[in-house]
Structure 1
């Protein structure tokens, strides 16, 4: 009787199927610490490969875990039930950039930063900008509804997906939406797929909305004595009628790690950091920057630096993007939680994090997107291999997530639920919402083969 890999080789060809130890190990995990090997890896190169694989898997009841760049933080790409790891990372072509229509048509393996660069050269803009934009794939962005610092002004991935081609569990190919910027033809099947974490279908092509690139950008980098003062500045900026493209905040542990990793000269003074970015046409940006600088100075910042133009702004962003690497440089494991709170709870959140630190003995680093309340709370642990340390970390995480839910916050803003946040899923949604998820899953994937072991189980 033929084995699974032999069946798939006969179906797809030997260049599409792998059971090498190295390939199985590579495709057993993402950037979270969980790992489980698949039985076989399928390297899809076209929609027909995906369709044939899913049709076969559905007929035989074999689990399939869709994968892209595998740089997620919640174990969403881990093949929890073994079976087939279906990689679409090799489907990595930018098929079309059409500025007249304001769209780009891409395959799911395209790296987000590569699309941004390609459209920027034409004077256009794809705004979603997760911190991992140089390594994450657009298919993964769509699966998790990825965000980033520019969400405050420009929105998340969902707002830029006009059309999708996706393969359902039975191998059928569905095309939804299109290249029109307005479209109310039937149910929002595009919206249903965006953020579905590979449990409803496998995206094989996406038509993405592009907008004109703002000709000028400028930034402020401000150091404050306390997180409360920086959070107050966020509210004052918004209440004063400004809508920055990004408002980023960082706490004292994050800054301390950055100083050790990058040096004192590139990090601001104080125990809190605020980044403000604005964009538009040069006269308005220059005028707005001056007004913002005066406002932030009047709010008592310890130091304030300005950046005008792409090159200068990228130096500020380099500091922000290095925060994660600075925390890793401490030698501790970073349990990165992308929780969201109502913006008025920013100070409460950091004070709660400090109480967690005092109670459990783990450092807690908080930084992220202050403008929309999406803060990355990182519980820093020496290891997750020691059962006692892991148990303490899990208790701290339970306390964090239950507090977020009590504040009417969200347990994930952009990473997804996956495995990492699975145990809080039922507390985070109503019974009726949970049952609705199950009905949709049963309708599109009745045998439950797509990405099993994640939050719906």
Structure 2
């Protein structure tokens, strides 16, 4: 009996596929690596996942769980074949309970869909990864996803109250619950947040929701030089402001945006750009925007576009979302590294990247979440298939990561480790923490069946 026949017998018909096109679709994510699984399985319940893992454990078959497949680090590449476990059919919003401040969802729920349903009731689920229209809640939890608004509201971890998790053995474990405070025993749920599917498979999540702010407003701010924009970030925060988002963009990205969107999209003299979003009660937001405009003028801003309504603010954000597409429109391969540095090192990061550009000829674009130091540093390569250019670009990534670690930073703020950053993981966390990762992995997945080969672990 084949693997597909075995699993169909256990789970029922219609939940598996060995079609070559389906296998290819589940062989990787937005990173360049891919490996074909032997079979794709589409569970529809926690029981399905539990039965599958009991079988896989007994037969020593690797299982790689998959959400929306929009990651950037090869996190869902089934490097040892076996089963690709797609959670796309487990996509129900089970409950939205404003009276408890929670939403209960399955892992395949698309983030933007949850936000829309919660918003219709006057509530707010803040985590906002750029791929929120495609990415799933389960994937967000597995990578502890962030986004622009995590400056004020925090990353996904801050909104996870409870999890249902299937372990490698097939055992179903409940972690946490629906209360907003819970200090009963170890915080086991935190083990699975950011674990990239290597410790267990999340099949249900209880998420914290909060009242939706009455108003959102934003500023699109241009500066003649990047250091002025970086200095303005410090002035904003030191001045007692806590924006819901604070984004910065360098000159290369701005040039690419003008070429892609048209010269009128941004002031021609802009070599540094900020987006500042504030939210809250309408009167307070207006007052804060007035104060921020005055402060930014003092900081040397040459152009300030004020978006007073949520609709106008959305137009500002649409420009920000086009930055990545603008870089792709250059025709170059974009190596997108989501490094994090102390905020005070923003100018040094851009200077470091400019120095690498002068040495190598490779363009490097920096933009992202300046409020928390999470800057998407994109090494642009005109022909990544060329072995020499690939080696040059890869060497730049290595230099970037070592510089970031020397600054007390992190090699990833949102995307995770996966395959792409496994080479640097041990150095990034240190020997003691790496050993703890090994111990936890062995304890929860002794057969190394769940998403094996990631994070530089065996």
| Shared fold (TM-score, shorter chain, > 0.5) | yes
Aligned to 1:244: 243
Distance 2:449 2:194 in 1: 18
* Residue-by-residue CA offset, 1:250-295 (whole Å, 9 max, x unaligned): 0011111111111122224411110101111011111111000000
Distance 2:265 2:113 in 1: 27
SS of the residue corresponding to residue 187 of structure 1 reads coil
Distance 2:414 2:245 in 1: 16
Describe how 1:80-91 pairs up with structure 2 within 5 A.
80-91=79-90
Distance 1:267 1:157 in 2: 32
Describe how 1:34-433 pairs up with structure 2 within 5 A.
34-268=33-267, 269-433=269-433
Distance 1:64 1:190 in 2: 21
Distance 1:201 1:59 in 2: 16
Give the CA deviation at 1:417.
0.4
SS of the residue corresponding to residue 375 of structure 2 reads strand
Give the CA deviation at 1:60.
1.2
Q: Give 5+ residue unaligned stretches, structure 2.
A: none
Distance 1:90 1:392 in 2: 42
Distance 1:418 1:384 in 2: 20
Pair 1:3 & 2:2 matched:
yes
Deviates more, 1:215-224 or 1:265-274: 265-274
Distance 1:75 1:404 in 2: 21
SS of the residue corresponding to residue 347 of structure 2 reads helix
Aligned length: 456
SS of the residue corresponding to residue 390 of structure 1 reads helix
SS of the residue corresponding to residue 319 of structure 2 reads helix
Give the CA deviation at 1:164.
0.4
Give the CA deviation at 1:14.
2.7
SS of the residue corresponding to residue 64 of structure 2 reads strand
Give the CA deviation at 1:385.
2.0
Q: Give 5+ residue unaligned stretches, structure 1.
A: none
* Residue-by-residue CA offset, 1:48-79 (whole Å, 9 max, x unaligned): 11111111111111111000110000000111
SS of the residue corresponding to residue 371 of structure 2 reads helix
Whether the 8 Å contact between 1:267 and 1:319 is mirrored in structure 2 is no
Give the CA deviation at 1:37.
0.5
Distance 1:241 1:162 in 2: 30
TM-score (norm 1): 0.99
**RMSD of aligned alpha carbons:** 0.8
